[in-house]
């Protein structure tokens, strides 16, 4: 998972680990630590706003679009699964 880069798909701002995001329940947290799910009320945020006061652009984008490098991880997992099919039981 070291190959994953998290950044805004609109402006390329890369968030640090600060709790910039606030849920409608009032809880503040780092949305990327939980995959977009509020740890307090469990609401899932399908879209994530870029944080302008931290150097971003304030645009909203689908949460999953922030993750770069997932394609290579999926391809590696597929190859491992396919390889396991050829190992004698």
Residue pointed to by tokens 């606030």: 22
User: CB burial class (10 A; 0-12, 13-18, 19+) of residue 82?
Assistant: exposed
In a domain, 30, yes or no: yes
Residue 48: helix, strand or coil by DSSP? strand
Q: How many domains does the chain have?
A: 1
In a domain, 89, yes or no: no
In terms of residue numbers, what domain contains 46? Answer: 5-84
In a domain, 71, yes or no: yes
pLDDT digits (tens, 9 = 90+) for 43-66: 999 999 999 999 999 999 999 999
pLDDT digits (tens, 9 = 90+) for 7-42: 999 999 999 999 999 999 999 999 999 999 999 999
pLDDT of residue 89: 60
**How far is C-alpha 75 from the chain's CA centre?**
18
In a domain, 73, yes or no: yes
Rg value, the chain, Cα: 16
Residue 11: helix, strand or coil by DSSP? coil
- Closest by CA to 47, choosing from 74, 2, 80, 9, is 9
């Amino acid at each position: 998972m070291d190959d994953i880069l998290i950044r805004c798909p609109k402006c390329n701002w890369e968030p640090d680990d600060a709790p910039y995001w606030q849920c409608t329940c009032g809880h503040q947290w780092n949305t990327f630590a939980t995959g977009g799910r509020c740890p307090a009320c469990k609401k899932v945020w399908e879209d994530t706003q870029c944080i302008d006061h931290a150097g971003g652009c304030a645009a909203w984008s689908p949460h999953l679009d922030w993750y770069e490098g997932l394609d290579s991880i999926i391809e590696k997992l597929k190859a491992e699964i396919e390889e396991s099919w050829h190992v004698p039981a």
